[in-house]
Amino acid sequence: MRQAGIDDYEDFARQVLAAIPDRPISFEVFSDDFLEMEQQALKIATWGPNVYVKIPVTNTRGEAATLLIGRLAKRGIKLNVTAIMTLEQVNEILPALIDCPAAYVSIFAGRIADTGRDPVPLMRAAAGIVSRQSHIELIWASPREVLNVVQADEVGCHVITATNDILKKLPLLGKDLTEYSLETVKMFRGDAVMAGFAI
């Protein structure tokens, strides 16, 4: 939203909710202080019945948000616990979400992959853990490629936060590779002709 030049968070959020009243939408708290986060979360939750409040798994000092998550869950706030990257974090927050009416556990699989680790085993394990609670869903966050859509589906994720770039590539799913190879050669040839290069 910052990149889009939005300067009034609540006004923009309410416009989004008016346009999309029947799908879950997450809005994030901004504070780094748990008490202030709680106040922000309570306010955000009043914006609509389909609102999930995004709470980071820790603050910037690395302090776990588990107690805050538990308090908000007991108050009936729908939550999206975000920036998760380990199974230990998943296991720590799940008990706090027991009383939550509905929640998302958002694991940043793309960022895990950026560290050279395969996120699939972790996501599969997380899906197994999360599946024990019918009111909690798993998000594959920060995907990097269309393959992640397939992987998220295969491991049992409920949601993937696909960007426009990834959505545009979805028609390539299952494309004949020989045909794709030929299209690529034609593209290379076209680029060479347009460049006017000679050897």
Report d(CA 99, CA 7) in Å as an integer: 34
- Helix, strand, coil percentages for the chain (3-state, nearest 5): 50, 15, 35
Check if the beta carbon of residue 148 is closer than 8 Å to that of residue 109.
yes
Q: Closest by alpha carbon to 159, among 18, 21, 24?
A: 24
**Active-site annotation holder among 43, 54, 78, 169:** 54
CA angle 56, 59, 63 (to 5 degrees): 115
43 is catalytic: no
Token duo for residue 69: 């998550």
Give residues with Cβ within 8 angstroms of 173, minimum separation 6. Answer: 146, 149, 150
Which positions are annotated as active-site residues? 54
